[in-house]
Amino acid sequence: MKELDPLLHSQLRLAIMSILMNVDEADFVYLKEKTESTAGNLSVQIDKLSSTGYITVEKGFVGKKTRTVCRITERGQDAFRNYVETLKQYLNL
Amino acid sequence: MKELDPLLHSQLRLAIMSILMNVDEADFVYLKEKTESTAGNLSVQIDKLSSTGYITVEKGFVGKKTRTVCRITERGQDAFRNYVETLKQYLNL
DNA sequence: ATAAATAAGTTTATAATATAAACCAAATGT
DNA sequence: ACATTTGGTTTATATTATAAACTTATTTAT
């Protein structure tokens, strides 16, 4: 039984990645709403994903407000697809 | 986004449940080999699954050796299937 | 103009989890 | 008889996830 990428095998990080697989880009506020997570938890998990290179994080401004935009990387997409394949083995899909 | 049953969202417990979904019964030694886990970890996770009622554990003897046999319960099967459905939402399957 | 509230995050502390290491009792091999 | 293996359990430790507290800047209300 293959190992499940521990970085992806976490509810919140998986949710983040799942969203980013489908939307090209998503900002902090959007991810927070969609995942219904606390800001603190989201911040931590985004950091982990970005420091492993699964996503990129770009901090900018829209008007005077800060805006943190996340995008999935190639590596992230590969990892996600690989995780899905591995998981299928466990789920018998 | 629905919550993923935390009892199942753990690599080893998921592996145990996955096996038990397919085999009717499996003993400690078999599960240990198949999952490549340590005995201690396996013991703990089996306890958790059994104290939640997802599996039953029967300790008996075969000859003079002890034998711990695990079986999945109805509740366990329901929970597993439910987990799979929820997960599909995350994986876009 | 200033105080209070809100927004967008980050940092730090705590609770929960997973894992491994140490241990135990019985059986088997030498 | 003594060491080793088998089949586990218990306890300690490392990792993780989560929440609470904090920061900085921005509105909104008075």
Band of the pLDDT at B72, cuts 50, 70, 90? very high
CATH class of the region A11-91 = mainly alpha
Which stretches does DSSP call E strand in B1-93?
26-27, 55-62, 65-72
Band of the pLDDT at B38, cuts 50, 70, 90? very high
Cα–Cα nearest to B68, from B78, B76, B56: B56
C-alpha dist (Å) from residue A71 to A35, A76, B22, B31 = 16, 9, 39, 40
The residues spanned by each domain of chain B are 24-87
Cα–Cα nearest to A46, from A62, A70, A64: A70
For residue B5, the chain A residue with the least C-alpha distance is A11
Q: State the Cα angle at A23 between A17 and A29, rounded to 5°.
A: 75
The distance (Å) linking the CA of B32 with the C1' of C20 is 15
CATH architecture of the domain with range B24-87: Orthogonal Bundle (1.10)
Mean pLDDT of B61-79: 95
Answer whether any strand D atom is within 7 A of the Cβ of B28: yes
What pLDDT digit, counting tens, does each position of B11-35 carry? 999 999 999 999 999 999 999 999 9
Output the pTM of the full model. Answer: 0.92
pLDDT over 90 at B39, yes or no: yes
B33 interaction partners in chain A (CB closer than 8 Å): none
Q: Is A37 on the interface with B (CB under 8 A)?
A: no
pLDDT over 90 at B64, yes or no: no
Write phi, then psi, for A31 (nearest 5 degrees). -60, -40
pLDDT at A92: 85
The distance (Å) linking the CA of B21 with the C1' of C27 is 32
Q: Is A92 on the interface with B (CB under 8 A)?
A: yes
pLDDT over 90 at B59, yes or no: yes
pLDDT at A42: 95
CA atoms lying within 13 Å on the CB side of residue A41: 13
Q: Is B9 on the interface with A (CB under 8 A)?
A: yes
For residue B10, the chain A residue with the least C-alpha distance is A9
Q: Please state whether beta strands A26-27 and A65-72 pair in parallel, antiparallel, or not at all (unpaired).
A: antiparallel
- Match 């996600």 to its residue by tokens: A80
- For residue A20, give both structure tokens: 């980013």
**Digitized pLDDT (tens) for each residue of chain A, 93 residues in all:** 889 999 999 999 999 999 999 999 999 999 999 999 999 999 999 999 999 999 999 999 888 888 999 999 999 999 999 999 999 999 988
For residue A92, the chain B residue with the least C-alpha distance is B18
Which nucleotide lies at the shortest CA–C1' distance from B66?
D7
